[in-house]
Amino acid sequence: MERIFVITAFFFDCGVGIGFFNPKQWLISVITAWGAVLTGGFIVFSALRKHGSFALNAQEPPFITFGLAVLFLPVVLALFGGHLGKLLKGKMFPNQYQTKLNDLSQ
């Protein structure tokens, strides 16, 4: 349980940091999850190769549902954290990043 908490905090906090310090390109926060994407992809590939079309009903590892969770949850956490970091930057420093439309109207 402790490992899950640490991994969740890592991906989320990395996303928040990237979104806060680089709010215009907060989508690059997904790069922090590259290891999980590789691992999850390998697990899904292994499950499909071993169990074939019965991969969803597998009774022994590798489990495709675990692979899909490893594949997508860190990506979602990193993207959510990046977006939250962008929003925090906008709330804390609202006048620092103005759009070109706002600059033209002044």
The answer for residues whose C-beta is within 8 angstroms of residue 43's C-beta and 6 or more apart is: 62, 63, 64, 66, 67, 70, 71
Give residue 10's pLDDT: 92
Judge whether 93 lies within some domain: yes
33 in any annotated domain? yes
With respect to residue 61, please indicate whether it lies within any of the assigned structural domains: yes
Could you list the residue range(s) of the whole structural domain that residue 21 is in?
2-97
pTM (two decimals): 0.77
Phi-psi domain of 52 (left: phi exceeds 0; alpha: psi -120 through 50; beta: other): left
pLDDT digits (tens, 9 = 90+) for 44-99: 999 999 988 888 888 888 888 889 999 999 999 999 999 999 999 888 877 665 55
Per the domain annotation, does 6 fall within a domain? yes
Domain count, the chain: 1
105 inside domain: no
Structural contact between residues 64 and 44, judged by C-beta atoms closer than 8 angstroms: yes
Domain-located, residue 103: no
